[in-house]
Amino acid sequence: MLTKLKGGKVYDPANQVNGEVRDLYVRDGRIVAAPVHDERTHCEYDLTGHIVMAGAIDLHTHIGGGKVNIARAMLPEDHRRDIVARTSLTRSGCGHAAPATLTTGYRYAEMGYTACFEPAVLPMNARQAHMEMGDTPIVDKGGYALLGSDDFLLKMIAAKSDQKAINDYVAWTLNSSHCIGIKVVNPGGISAFKFNQRAMDLDEDHSYYQVTPRQILTVLARALSDLGVPHPLHVHGCNLGVPGNVATTLETVKAAEGLPMHLTHIQFHSYGTEGDRKFSSGAARVAEAINQNKNISTDVGQIMFGQTVTASGDSMTQFRNAPFGRPKKWVVMDIECDAGCGVVPFRYRDTNFVNALQWAIGLEIFLMVSDPWRIFITTDHPNGAPFMSYPHLIKLLMDKTYRNSMLDTINPDAAAESTLASLTREYSLYEIAIMTRAAPAKILGLTDRGHLGPGAGADITVYSDDADKQKMFAQPRYVFKDGELVVQNGKITKVSWGNTHVVKPEYDKSIEQPLKTYFERYQTMRMDNFKISDDEMQEFGHANKLLSHPCRKQT
């Protein structure tokens, strides 16, 4: 069956198409070249006057796994503000800060997103992450396996194991947990917290292993590079939220030693200590470092004002920040000699100096990082704000007048501390398409997503053009997932289940010998029960497809 999307204004940066009027053709879930002969089109959509982009990709959103479900369980009062009723097509659920899996999928799709990546899959909890993502409809999913505070790796680094053995362990972890990348959170710090260490800077020793976060970052970034995994090491750095952490962040850029590295929710890591309140913006210095180091990419983790919940693997930081949380309840967990987590509800207030400046810092970074291929739109859902605030965030980036009118409403001392008012940049639709489609696909190694060229999976979002970009991005006219119309006028018309993106780098199977012994002696499950099989993945995901992306050939 051939479908024609006729006459839309196409923004497809991966193929250098910038707002040209074009026809697109879709057959069997793929975008195809225009048929040569007068082949019959079975279905035609007139998109005259509409904006056409690939489906959007969120490369950092906490949508599945243990800590997300703790957040859900903890917040019945938040859910009650946004109960979602059942329809003839869709299941009931709830939205806002910690939405139900089903609602998460529907709402991402209704906003024109077709792929979401869970950035903190604890290997010991990977089954849960995949089961939850399996119950997240329509969008494609993938996860980053969390390493860096697991005792197996820390023991290896402390024992100065050779890089090759570490590469094997990293590859084994990716294979057995069915993930597409590796995330490190407060490198070594989650483990250090179990030894009652309360802070750990980049060059500070883990009190037990005598290993520094810098060493952990270097070893993991090297492993991914050696293995040819497309997505660079995904780094949640040391000292999240600590005033003065901008210095740590600049050092972290150096720790990459030129290797690809993704610094996530950078806003939380861009704080100085200037001013009366000893809290200031480090955005300019961070943006400069990113502009100068082409090996570095980032997503912002923008905060928005209102109630949300922070769910993080960073137990050390979450324990420290728990007293600032609202409402007053929080969870911290040590997990399986593997990692940890902390869940703290937060209410960001525009009248609060710190919160208001956090908001401005995020926007400053967006506007000062020059290359949209290396900076991505995230709120670190739900940590900075729920993902539903993306259309509002896009408007802030595209509309200087609107942005400045918002700036006038925040804590005046914070507004005065920020350079935001002097930043005149306005993102174009083409740049937004880069940040939310082409660039995330590129940095994840998804060659057939994030663009509209022949051969791409037909994940397509069509917007009705509107001067109010928030309105435009909140409610697409059509969304196609793998060629099927799933959303019309911002409402679900069909429920499908999406694919799961993974990488399966090769490794030396002999790494399983020490692992098997390690599991038997120290863990509480056996290695073979830990590993997730392909069959299980099918079962979790309503028989969805596992899409395995190639790793670069090792040299």
Partner 1 sequence: MWDEVPCPFCGLVCDDLRITTHSGKLEVIANGCPISSRAFATLSLSEPAAPQIAGKTASLDNAAAAVADFLGNAKQPLVAGLGTDVAGMRALMQLADRIGAVVDHMNSVYLMSNILALQDSGWVTTTLSELKNRVDLLVLAGTDVTSRFPRFFERYVWNRDHLFVSNAREVVYLGRGLDTQAGTAPDGRKPTVIACDITRIGEVAGALRCLIAGRQLQATRIAGVPLQELQKLAARMQAARYGVLAWAAADFDFKHAELAVQSLCGLVNDLNRSTRFCGLPLGGNEGDVTANQVCTWQCGFPVRTGFASGGPYYDPRHFSAERMLRENEADALLWVSSFNEKNTPPETSVPVAVLGRRGMKFRKEPRVYIPVATPGVDHSGHIYRTDNVVALPLRKLRESALPSVAQVAAEIEKVLESR
Interface pick for partner 1 out of 467, 524, 553, 555 (rule CB under 8 A): 524
- Residue 373 or 530 with smaller CB distance to partner 1: 530
Least Cβ distance, residue 316 to partner 1 (angstroms):
11
375-376 and 50-54 strand pairing: unpaired
3-state secondary structure string across 177-210? HCCCEEEEECCCHHHHHHCCCCCCCCCCCCCCCC
Report the distance separating Cα 479 and Cα 463, nearest Å. Answer: 9
Instruction: Give the separation between CA 283 and CA 276, rounded to whole angstroms.
Output: 18
When binding is defined by CB under 8 A, the residue of 101, 264, 310, 358 that contacts partner 1 is 101
Question: Hey, which bits of 138-177 come out as E strands?
Answer: 140-146
- The beta strand positions in 429-543, using DSSP E, are 460-464, 478-481, 484-488, 491-492, 500-503
| 468 near partner 1, rule: CB under 8 A | no
Q: Which of 12, 58, 118, 135 binds partner 1 (CB under 8 A)?
A: 135
Strand (E) or helix (H) holding 121? strand 113-121
Q: Which is nearer to partner 1, 97 or 432 (CB)?
A: 97
- Considering only residues 23, 251, 274, 334, which one is a binding residue for partner 1 as defined by CB under 8 A? 334
Q: Which of 539, 550, 552, 554 binds partner 1 (CB under 8 A)?
A: 539
Of 32, 165, 247, 331, which lies in the binding site for partner 1, with binding defined by CB under 8 A? Answer: 331
DSSP category for residue 90? S
Q: How far apart are CA 192 and CA 253, in angstroms?
A: 22
For residues 32 and 199, which CB has a smaller minimum distance to partner 1 in the complex?
A: 199
**Beta-strand runs (E) in 369-475:** 375-376, 460-464
Q: Which of residues 165-204 bind partner 1 (CB under 8 A)?
A: 193-196
Q: What are phi and psi of 263, to 5 degrees?
A: -95, 110
| C-alpha torsion sign, points 382, 387, 392, 395 | positive
Contact residue for partner 1 among 343, 443, 479, 492 (CB under 8 A) = 343
Binding mask 23-52 for partner 1 (x = CB under 8 A): ------------------------------
- Give me the least distance between CB of 201 and partner 1, in Å please: 20
Is residue 521 part of the contact set for partner 1 (CB under 8 A)?
A: yes
Q: Are 115 and 496 in contact (CB under 8 A)?
A: no
Nearer to partner 1, 158 or 354 (CB): 158
CB of 234 to partner 1, least distance (A): 21
Q: What is the DSSP string of 25-88?
A: EEETTEEEPPPSS-PPPSEEEE-TTEEEEEPEEESS---SSHHHHHHHHH-HHHHGGGEE---S
Contact 97, 310 (CB under 8 A): no
Q: Does 99 bind partner 1 (CB under 8 A)?
A: yes
Report if residue 413 touches partner 1, rule: CB under 8 A: no
Return the residues of window 382-411 that contact partner 1 according to CB under 8 A: none
Residues 76-95 that bind partner 1 (CB under 8 A): 76, 79, 83-86, 91-94
CB of 402 to partner 1, least distance (A): 32
Name the residue nearer to partner 1 (CB basis): 74 or 170.
74
Q: Which of 282, 340, 351, 281 is nearest to 311 (CA)?
A: 340
Please tell me the count of residues contacting partner 1 according to CB under 8 A: 64
Query: The tokens 């993704």 sit on which residue?
Result: 262
Please report, as ranges, the residues that interact with partner 1 according to CB under 8 A.
64, 66, 68-70, 72-76, 79, 83-86, 91-94, 98-103, 122, 124-125, 127-128, 131-132, 135, 151, 193-196, 208, 319, 328-338, 343, 521-526, 528-529, 532-533, 536, 539
